[in-house]
Amino acid sequence: MRADGAWSILWDLRMPRILFAIVVGAALAAAGAIMQGLFRNPLADPSLLGVSAGAAMGAVTVMILNILPGVSTIVGALGRAALPVFSFGGALAATWLVYRIAWSEGRTVVAAMLLAGIAVNALAMAYIGGAVFMADYGQIREFHFWMLGSLSAASWGSLVALAPFTILPLVLIAGLARPLNVLLLGEAEAGHLGFNVQRIKRWTVFLAAAMAGGAVAFCGVIGFVGLVAPHLVRLSIGPDHRSLLPGAVLLGAALLLAADWAARVLAAPAEIPVGILTALVGAPFFLVLLVRGKSRLFGA
């Protein structure tokens, strides 16, 4: 292969995909870490806010319901950008609905947010089920492949489009480390120490939704990275968010980069959806570490 051809493959194909995997993995892990801090639950992840379900609603609208008059006009105007735009819009809409339902008497009730997330997820699944029921085989296959997650959309253009929803929030979450540490003591205690608890919740939900929603919009549903990466870091170095957040970001980027490499190599020249590998490897590994570290983590 000529040197210019090799350089073109490296620069135009490989490098954007590598950076895409790093950014998406870091964003998913960071979103999971701050959600676990907000809910004070190591099993929390952004899907509790309906982010993934809302994004899937947007995706199914583009892929299957694009025959509807209003939808078809918007999809035609947006072109190739329609899928990420609708997916991200669906993720934000679901998160906003969960947040508004959980808002009561000037504050956000975390328990109500959890229950609202379950209800919104159920409604989203009903919407998706109805759309799939009306779809043909080709549309169903396209949607299910998107649901399995893939980094095949990686390019310099998509990386630039993804950056505002991931890289900027990754910088901003550094300011949440100390507030989330204090929030671990309880909301009342954090308020007595001078922290604006509602502002902490609002920023945590907004940044988690932006990062997870942006990642899902461009890559589909990639599970377990947002749950496993922060959890492994917590088991290793403890719950201090000053070290937990950067550790989760680095581990999430490394996990998704390794999973994407395996997805392209194991079944070459075909490509395994990366979401399958993250679940297949992440779930058993997570269970083993959970069993080994449960006494230290849960006090059992």
Q: Which of 77, 222, 83, 223 is nearest to 139 (CA)?
A: 83
Residue 263 structure tokens: 């997805």
Main-chain phi, psi angles of 107, to 5 degrees: -150, 160
**CA separation for the pair 193, 190 (Å, rounded):** 5
**CA separation for the pair 78, 97 (Å, rounded):** 25
Which residue in this structure is represented by tokens 């919009």? 217
Which residue in this structure is represented by tokens 């100390």? 178
Residue 116 structure tokens: 């609202």
Number of C-beta neighbours around residue 128 at 10 A: 19
The pTM of the whole model exceeds 0.85: yes
Residue 211 structure tokens: 């990062």
- CB 230, CB 237: distance < 8 Å: no
Q: Which of 84, 234, 220, 216 is nearest to 143 (CA)?
A: 220
Which residue in this structure is represented by tokens 């917590």? 234
Calculated CA dihedral for residues 283, 257, 14, 58, nearest 10 degrees: 60
Residues 6+ apart with CB under 8 A from 44: 32, 35, 36, 38
Residues 203-239: b if buried by 16+ CB within 10 A, e if exposed: bbbbbbbbbbbbbbbbbbbbbbbbbbbbbbbbbeeeb
Q: What is the pLDDT of residue 77?
A: 76
Which residue in this structure is represented by tokens 């006494």? 295
Q: What is the pLDDT of residue 300?
A: 47
Domain ranges of the chain: 15-298
The pLDDT tens digits of the residues spanning 21-56 come to 999 999 999 999 998 888 887 777 888 888 888 888
Q: What number does CATH give the domain 15-298?
A: 1.10.3470.10
Q: What is the pLDDT of residue 256?
A: 93
Type and span of the H or E element at 265: helix 241-265
Residue 136 structure tokens: 């043909």
Segments of the chain with pLDDT less than 50: 300
